[in-house]
Amino acid sequence: MKVHIEIDCTPEEARQFMGLPDVEQANAIYIESITKAMQGASSTEQLEQYAKQLAPMGQMGLQMFQSFMEGAARGANRSAGGGEDK
User: Would residue 25 count as lying in a domain?
Assistant: yes
Q: How many domains is the chain partitioned into structurally? A: 1
Contact 62, 52 (CB under 8 A): yes
**84 within domain boundaries:** no
Residue 31 lies in a domain: yes
5 within some domain: no
Domain housing 17 = 11-79
pLDDT (tens digit per residue) in 35-72:
777 776 667 777 777 767 666 666 666 677 777 777 77
User: Could you tell me if residue 56 is inside a domain?
Assistant: yes
Closest by CA position to 50, among listed 63, 34, 61, 66 = 34
Does residue 2 sit within a domain?
no
The reply to whether 3 falls in a domain is no
Position 3 scores a pLDDT of 94
Residue 47 lies in a domain: yes
Residue 51: other Cβ atoms inside 10 A: 21
